Amino acid sequence: MAVGVLIALGESLSPGTYTDVRFTWLHLPAPPPGHPGAFPNGFSLVMGTLVDPLSALMLVVVTVVGFLVMLYSIEYMRKERGLPRYYAELSLFLAAMNGLVLADNLLEFFLFWELVGLCSYFLIGFHYERPAAASAAKEAFLVTRVGDVMFLLGIFLYFAVYGAKGPGLGWAASGFLFVQGNHAFLAGVPAGNPTLLTVAGIMILGGAAGKSAQFPLDVWLPDAMEGPTTVSALIHAATMVAAGVYLLAVTSVFLGFTAFDSLLIVALGGITTFFAATMAVVQPDIKRVIAYSTISQLGYMVLAVGAGFTMVGLYHLFTHAFFKALLFLAAGAVIHAVGTQDLFRMGGLRKRMPLTAAAFAIGGLALAGIPPFAGFWSKDDLLAGVYSTLGSHPAYWPFFLLAFATVFLTGYYIFRAWFLAFSGEPRDPSLHAGHEGPWEMTVPLVILSALAVVAGLFVYLPGFQALLLHGGGVAGIPPVYGTTQLLLSAVGVSLAGGGILVAWALWGSGRIVPTPSAAPAAGMRRVLLARYGIKSAYDWLGATGVYTVARAADFFDRFVIDGAVHGFERAFGDLSERMRRIQTGLVSDYASYVVGGLLVVAALLLVVAPYLVGRFGGG
């Protein structure tokens, strides 16, 4: 399948080239004459497959990384119970993500979007017998549902603006279609109700923030490390979290965002980039370091989309998929070898696992943006693009500076992890000896290492370059820099290198410098490990606010609604019980009832009737 996708990529990179195959899933006929409705010509829900430059790029990411993760899983998951369930869920996960990127309308997109979320719940909670894994799966499911509700509302709002207006602007009364008539990407914001468009854009951003773990809906992603490392590699590199950025890209290209929405997206991306990186610098868990790195790098992509450089943001998503999958699978090899995720218990693994150490270092250099590795090209294009907008959008400055400062933090935290795990001498003799894995684990590391080196050079392929320059009429930038861009690049590389040097000074040769508990740095470390208190705030909100509302609703349900129902039930029960007692089945009892009735009738005739005649009939 991956070979077919590569062919599709080659045929779809030219801007304006696409293949769209669709069929009518559900059709509502037009109303009868004289009965006007919202859709006088009827309404159809359409399902289809759209292969264009955006989806072709994503297909390469999903299928290549998915195949390598599957191969890696053969050995990594060999001793796990429930392997049929694991492979079924993983296959469904990849199928859902492929369906998402091939969707030709927002409704179909949303259906596969929900299926991706369901599969992530299954896979994060794969070890459901462990309370932490079960809790992490529920947390991921609930937090992302917040974004999903916003996404659905955004779809409805966009349809309210364009759905009934027939062909044009990427929408039609026949469905929630991306493409109508001749394929044309949209440059700028379509005409329509600006208030509704702004709110719709905010809702779409909320959906993307939930799926891509952007602030403040980022709390689920670090806890998702309770799933197998192979699942972490797939979720973080190629599937679920990439879906949020892809949603923003598709919306930007086919629908557009208002100026306010763009500023909000830039702000969210810049804040998340720095916010997540600060928490990565103190993490003792090797997988959580990489998880926070994912959140931070996704923030870069969101920043690029908000600034108008959608295709450059997807270019960074493309390169990031390979070096992030490499980092996770290298971390998985370490965990598989030594049996722990605690960086402070590792050490000295470079001598016993040289291939894994080299693979992790390559992934780290690509992540830090050191040339000539893949992350350098996409990260520099991204920052240069955002920088070029600062003159016309001065409000972007604070968020650009946050993103630029994150370059230093990125170099620091990823090589802090490398030095703690691979340099020096073993710190915990109780751990497993550590060794390279079999070929099923090493071959994916070698392939991903090669991609982490060369994937950035794809920018020099003619088709890829045309896509970045003109893709969708959405701003792209050439891979040829002027003086300002070269200076910006030099400063960025210096910052990344400075972060690596600081990591070496503090943690090189496996050294660990304890921080005195009274030092200001110790207090900041506690704040960062506590995630700035946001996780605790969510827990408090759930335990007090939501639980209080739930208890009040339970009281109302039990004692008001159920009380009224049970009250009527008891009243009619008592009445029926009394009436049942007179049904004895004895003829003598029934005869006495008849005599009693006759006496009552006689009394009425002898007493009440003369009174009424005398009172009203005597004239």
User: Would you state the pLDDT for residue 468?
Assistant: 57
Q: Are 234 and 90 in contact (CB under 8 A)?
A: yes
Neighbours of 115 (CB within 10 A): 17
CA-to-CA dists, residue 105 to 122, 167, 497, angstroms? 26, 14, 44
C-alpha span between 286 and 220 (Å, rounded): 17
User: Would you state the pLDDT for residue 536?
Assistant: 82
Q: How do residues 61-118 score in pLDDT, each as one tens digit?
A: 899 999 999 999 998 888 888 889 999 999 999 999 999 998 888 888 999 999 999 9
User: Would you state the pLDDT for residue 517?
Assistant: 62
User: Would you state the pLDDT for residue 607?
Assistant: 76
Question: What values do phi and psi take at 277, rounded to 5?
Answer: -65, -35
| Residues of the chain under the 50 pLDDT cut | 1-7, 11-13, 165-175, 181-189, 470-480, 619
C-alpha span between 318 and 312 (Å, rounded): 10
C-alpha span between 286 and 288 (Å, rounded): 6
User: Would you state the pLDDT for residue 179?
Assistant: 63
C-alpha span between 175 and 428 (Å, rounded): 61
User: Would you state the pLDDT for residue 80?
Assistant: 84
Q: Please spell the DSSP secondary structure of 372-423, one letter per residue.
A: TSHHHHHHHHHHHHHHHTTTT-GGGHHHHHHHHHHHHHHHHHHHHHHHHHHS
- What are the structure tokens assigned to 498, written together? 């400075």
- What are the structure tokens assigned to 230, written together? 């192979």
Looking up tokens 């660990």 gives 512
pTM assigned to the model = 0.83
* Residue 216, preceding peptide bond in cis (omega within 30° of 0): yes
CA-to-CA dists, residue 486 to 200, 375, 466, angstroms? 38, 16, 21
339: left (phi over 0), alpha (psi -120 to 50) or beta: left
Q: What letter does residue 181 receive in the DSSP assignment?
A: S
Handedness of CA 379, 11, 24, 166 (dihedral sign): positive
User: Would you state the pLDDT for residue 323?
Assistant: 93
- What are the structure tokens assigned to 404, written together? 């630029």
Q: Which residue type does 432 have? A: H
Q: Are 321 and 294 in contact (CB under 8 A)?
A: no
